[in-house]
Structure 1
Amino acid sequence: MNTDPIADYLTRVRNAIKANHRVVEIPASNLKKEITKVLFDKGYIANFKFEDNGPQGIIKVALKYHPITKISAIRSISRISKPGLRKYAGMDNMPRVLNGLGIAILSTSKGVMTDKEARTQNVGGEVLCYVY
């Protein structure tokens, strides 16, 4: 059993990028699906597909690379709030990743969103990860 499924998700994506894989398969959950949708909306992944195989299902994520230089759109993806130490941010102390060039993915009462969306909706929440 995995104690931190979000860290497992991020590690699978990170390892697939290091190995220059085009597609990575990840065990599905509702939170992982929402994180995948945010990454797709912000242009960090090329595409995704949810498949219901058995009780859990899987998420197939197509990673995005530059066509000429073959550099991944995701330079760094890191877990911030861990099971042993949760990190929360209010609307007044929302984190800025690379001075606004990256995104922080938050789990709020209004759903999973980026730091910029949380600022506009005046909500805070748990900082799941930084992506740039």
Structure 2
Amino acid sequence: MDPISDMLIRIKNAQTAGHAAVLIPYSQMKHEIAKALERAGFIAGIDRKGKRVRKMLEVTLGGGGKESPAIRGVKLLSTPGLRRYLPYRDLQRASHGGIYILTTPQGVMSGSEARKQKVGGELIAEIW
């Protein structure tokens, strides 16, 4: 399993189980994705823990707890074997009232942020 999909599934499972926070192995890309999720309101906060080799990302979960988690579903769109790219004109609104997460030349952002800035990029996931 690739590290980004592992991160998203860990967050979803922790919210479903009713946990307050989850620890994820750190990488710069995961940190940027977590910041995009925080801006969209799916998680409450992020914090880096540890030093050098054992760096971890502590994600504080938001939402209504176990009864109504903030992340109800994750659909992984781009995988290491099949990358999916879209220009900003083709970015539609995400179904289920969710968001798209994209990597763009300006960094990681949601689909609505990419449309406002008129940049396309690689689709990572759809989150609702």
Give the structure-2-normalised TM-score: 0.90
After TM superposition, the runs of 4+ consecutive aligned structure 1 residues lying more than 6 A away are none
Kept in 1, the 8 Å contact 2:73–2:127? The answer is yes
Unaligned 5+ segments in structure 2 are: none
- The one-letter amino acid paired with 1:130 is E
Write the deviation string for residues 46-91 of structure 1: whole angstroms up to 9, x where unpaired. 1221113342511111111327x83111111221100111111111
Change in CA separation of 1:87 and 1:95 when aligned onto 2, cut-off 3 Å = farther
- The one-letter amino acid paired with 1:103 is I
Alpha-carbon deviation of 1:16?
1.1
Which residue is 1:83 aligned to?
80
Structure ranking higher in helix proportion: 2
Which residue is 2:118 aligned to?
122
1:109 aligned to which of 80, 105, 108: 105
Kept in 1, the 8 Å contact 2:15–2:61? The answer is yes
- The one-letter amino acid paired with 2:11 is V
* Aligned sequence identity (%): 39
Which residue is 1:32 aligned to?
30
Count the aligned residue pairs: 128
Alpha-carbon deviation of 1:18?
2.6
What RMSD in Å do the two structures reach over aligned CA positions? Answer: 1.8
Alpha-carbon deviation of 1:37?
0.6
Give matches, 1:22-61, under 5 Å.
22-61=20-59
Give the structure-1-normalised TM-score: 0.88
In 2, the alpha carbon distance for the partners of 1:56 and 1:78 equals 29
In 1, the alpha carbon distance for the partners of 2:75 and 2:30 equals 15
Kept in 2, the 8 Å contact 1:10–1:78? The answer is no
User: Which one has more relative contact order, counting CA pairs under 8 Å at least 6 apart?
Assistant: 2
